[in-house]
Chains A and B, each alone.
Chain A
Amino acid sequence: MVIAFPPSIGRHRALRTEIHALIMAAQARPGETLQVTDARGPSSAALRSELRDLYDDYAACLDDGNLDAWPGFFTEDCVYAVTSHENFSEGLPLAAIYCRGLAMIRDRVAALRAATVYEPRVLRHMVSCVRVKSAEAGLVRSEANFAVFECLSDREPHVLMVGRYVDVVVRHGAALKFQERTCVYDNYRVRTSLVMPV
């Protein structure tokens, strides 16, 4: 089933509600794949929902300190970077964390486990505003906002950083994986250290 949204849809609340009801009804029908096209872009509700799950699972993985599972979110040839808004907006390549390929992502985990000294901490990732920028030929460009709260061993939580994910997501079997994940933090400065991945 294909539901095509007319370009004027955004301005007609009644029509939007009606179409939303139609989508809900369609989703309730098992066995049928739902495709939604939107004049504002090639996003689909199903894709967005799938992406939200991916982002939530990723955040939960890090918040649980499950570093062994973290590399599983990336493709073999991925690029993972954590960089400042300053570098990103100036087009400067440097990143605080720069992993080119899954091997370097695994090395990050190994180094954290075996060769890094840091104060114990608990992290909470809040991810919101998941948005699809483009989706074509099995390649999705998506973004989301993040806020990371950090609680050190004997203090209250503070905001470690706030920013956005700029991602390229591909389908890998049944799962979606990150082929590129650039975590662009808005902070001018990192507060003390950035120990865990974002």
Chain B
Amino acid sequence: MTAVAPAQTQERRWPEKAAVRIPAWIYTDPELFERELQTFHYGPAWSYVGLECEVPSSGSFKRSWVGRRSVIMVRDETGAIQVLENRCAHRGSMLCWKNKGKESSFTCPYHHWNYDLRGNLLGLPFLRGAMGKGGMPRDFDKQKHGLRRLRVETRNGVVWATYDEAAPTLETFLGPEIMKLVDRSFPGRQLRLLGYNRQLLPCNWKFYFENSRDPYHATLLHSFFTTFGLLRTDTPFKAVPTEGGRHGIMASTYSRDTASKQNEVTKQLASLKSDFRLNDMEVVTPVDEFGDSSMINLSVFPSVFFQQHGNSLAIRHIIPKDVSSTELSWTFFGYADDDDAMHRRRMKQANLLGPAGHVAVDDSEVLALMQPVAAGFPDSTQVIEMGGRDTAPQETMVTETLIRAFYQFYREKMGL
């Protein structure tokens, strides 16, 4: 007689050599995905929501996402930014159906409950009934039925929100190193919104976070980078995990002298096409606008990647949709005082990134095909030993220290 095992959730156990292995089931387990959202997005973390310049005046709003939850970023009558759940407090229907716009108040399409720009319930039809019948109970308190309002901090035009009233301040959350570098791109100069790119990737959201902390691949997969000397193994580089592995910094320097030149290191790179030239070199010829000859990219967990590739500046909002699909929402920006030449450069260099980017296509294509492999081999493990087994900052691109540090942080928070 065969015993039937009682139904139970299989206990997940991180594989041996935990610091340098990643199990594939973390990309495919729907229960784990829900727990990640609770732990990170709805927990004591700050999520990127948008830019202040997207909502220029009182009543201007834009829809965004915190985790899987739709939120409304709106400028209220006092000029302050509010982030409200896009969910009617009555029956939970979607309140705001437009991506952007301007309203003096929000009215739910379903039963016309009406909210002010701070999410307070102003009124609802038939509060006292009709013809003496129906209506809300006398003790119904409108003040207790407003929209859920997230805690908001803005810094130099960037809007952040958290669900956790007890979360540390944004400054503490980001930490001094990330803070300084966010301020480098957002020093308080007025921003100019250039536009959006959005794509839906058929892969788990963590694949994208790893990708943003993986300088090793950048020298190999992205031949467009290496060929034009924008990112190479033979130029100074820093890979710095911060805040216990929560965030990550990749800082490279570029030099026109090394562009498209071969040496001992680059000879190993099959992807470097030394005979490949562009007709319009402005696409790969940045001007050193920050005065440090650096390209600095910041991975700020769990919501955003700040990128600078040449003079292309963008925010990649990483929005998990389900365990195997992730939205990438890119906001490209410049500064209000950019001259025509800089604007033209930013527009041209935007060709590097986004869904059709000379560089970014390589990533979306590779990551899309990692998901079916993880699904087919959930008990398999990945190896992350490049550059050693620890999580210290390193001065090379040939390292996976940022990924190791990230998973150290992740396992601790998730109890895995």
| SS of B interface (majority) | mixed
B181, CB-defined interface residue at 8 Å: no
Q: Which residues of B contact A188 (CB under 8 A)?
A: 198
Q: Which 4 A-B pairs have the closest CB atoms?
A: A94-B195, A92-B195, A103-B279, A190-B355
Per-position 1/0 for B270-294, Cβ under 8 A of A: 0101001011100100000000000
Q: Say whether A84 faces chain B, with CB atoms less than 8 Å apart.
A: yes
| Contact across chains for B348 and A104 when beta carbons are under 8 A apart | yes
A195 to B278, CA, bound (A): 18
Interface string of A83-103 (1 = CB under 8 A from B): 110110010111111111101
List which B164-214 residues lie within 8 A (CB) of chain A.
Answer: 193-202
A191 to B223, CA, bound (A): 23
Say if the beta carbon of B65 comes within 8 Å of chain A.
no
A192 within 8 A of B: yes
Measured between beta carbons, the chain B residues less than 8 angstroms from A83 are: 195
Question: For chain A residues 108-167, which have a beta carbon within 8 Å of chain B?
Answer: 108, 110-111, 114-119
Bound-state CA distance A90–B347 (Å) is: 16
**Beta-carbon nearest neighbor of A191 in chain B:** B200
Contact in complex: A107, B344 (CB < 8 Å): no
10 contacts between A and B (CB under 8 A): A86-B99, A94-B332, A94-B347, A97-B356, A98-B350, A103-B279, A103-B280, A104-B280, A192-B364, A193-B365
Verify if B362 is at the interface (C-beta below 8 Å from A).
Answer: yes
A195 to B202, CA, bound (A): 16
Q: State the Cβ distance, A124 to closest chain B Cβ, in Å.
A: 18
User: Per-residue 0/1 for B360-377: is the Cβ within 8 Å of any A Cβ (1 yes, 0 no)?
Assistant: 011011101100000000
| Contact of A110 with B361 in the complex, beta carbons under 8 Å | no
A192, B199: Cβ atoms under 8 Å? yes
Instruction: Tell me whether B233 is interfacial, beta carbon within 8 Å.
Output: no
**A106 within 8 A of partner (CB):** yes
In the complex, chain A residues whose CB is within 8 Å of the CB of B155: none
- Contact present for B201 and A110 (CB under 8 Å): no
In the complex, chain A residues whose CB is within 8 Å of the CB of B332: 94
What distance in Å separates the Cβ of A198 from its nearest Cβ neighbour in chain B? 9
| Chain B residues packing against A (C-beta within 8 Å) | 99-100, 193-202, 221, 223-224, 227, 271, 273, 276, 278-280, 283, 327, 332, 344, 347-348, 350-351, 354-356, 358, 361-362, 364-366, 368-369
Q: Select which of A86, A90, A100, A117 is within 8 A of B344 by beta carbon.
A: A100
- A32 CB, min distance to chain B CBs, angstroms: 43
| CA of A74 to CA of B279, assembled, Å | 16
Contacts of B347 in A (CB 8 A): 93-95, 98, 100
Residue among A82, A118, A194 with max Cβ neighbours from chain B (10 Å): A194
A115 touches B348 (CB 8 A): no
Complex Cα distance, B332 from A134, in Å, reads: 33
Residues on B with beta carbons closer than 8 Å to the beta carbon of A93: 194-195, 347
Q: Which of A115, A189, A194 contacts B356 (CB 8 A)?
A: A194
Quick check: A189 and B199 within 8 Å, CB to CB? yes
Instruction: Report whether B195 and A98 are in contact in the complex, using a CB–CB cutoff of 8 Å.
Output: no
Would A115 and B223 be within 8 Å (CB), given that A86-B99, A192-B364 are in contact? yes
Closest chain A CB from B350 CB (angstroms): 6
Residues of A within 8 A of B355 (CB): 96, 190, 192-194
For residue A194, which residues in chain B have a CB less than 8 angstroms away from its CB? 355-356, 361
Q: Within the complex, which residue of B227, B348, B356 is in contact with A100, where a contact is CB–CB below 8 Å? A: B348
Q: Are B280 and A96 in contact (CB under 8 A)?
A: no
Contact B279 A94 (CB under 8 A): no
Residues 21-41 of A at the B interface (beta carbon under 8 Å): none
Cβ of B361 and Cβ of A116 under 8 Å apart? yes
Q: Report the bound CA distance from A82 to B197 in whole Å.
A: 11
Whether the pair A117, B351 counts as a contact (CB closer than 8 A) is: no
Partner of A117, one of B197, B279, B361: B361
With both chains docked as a complex, state the minimum distance between the C-beta of B391 and any C-beta of chain A, in angstroms. Answer: 29
Contact B223 A192 (CB under 8 A): no
